[in-house]
Homo-oligomer: A and B are copies of this chain.
């Protein structure tokens, strides 16, 4: 009999300050790594054009969302700019049990909650290459007033302090490079001795 390598899926949490480019990196990963499962969030915000229920988000009313919180159906949730966002727990847990890696792309406050509940997750902090670039990206959206830009920059500064809660730091100066680093992290984590023996302390007995 040969040896069994790590069999459960990894929960990969990709977070970082607003403006780091989490969405862009995730879209690129979707192309490159179709075997990766992308968690679908629940939200109370209005769908934007082209967003599809169950693909981009599960769209919920505020009452429904509060019920999900109360009944422990969310792995994490946060209120952000007057709306709720959260991660349905069951979907993630089922995929991990099937041995699939699941990617959560979430805000910094949500990532903190996931870390409490899933310390065995792999926490990746995505950074823009510089604060100057971050400002350019936030302004580039063209949808924000100067005050709003200022607020987002201050929020980003606070979020940066959270870096010490994370296992890895990926600098998003090139999307392709960031994706390559994230995919490498997933491969490496499945080879971590600590993780292998935590899952199965008698790992070497079948050898």
Contacts and interface: CB of A to CB of B under 8 A. Distances in A.
A189 B191 contact: no
Copies in the complex: 2
Given A185-B188, A207-B160, A171 B129 contact: no
- Contact residues on A (Cβ < 8 Å of other chain), bracket: 35 or more
Contacts of A186: 184
A6 to B, nearest CB: 9
A198 interface: no
A194 B168 CA distance: 8
Given A181-B188, A187-B181, A188-B181, A171 B130 contact: no
Contact of A163 (B127, B170, B193): B193
Given A2-B130, A3-B129, A3-B130, 4 more contacts: A169-B191, A184-B188, A185-B191, A187-B188
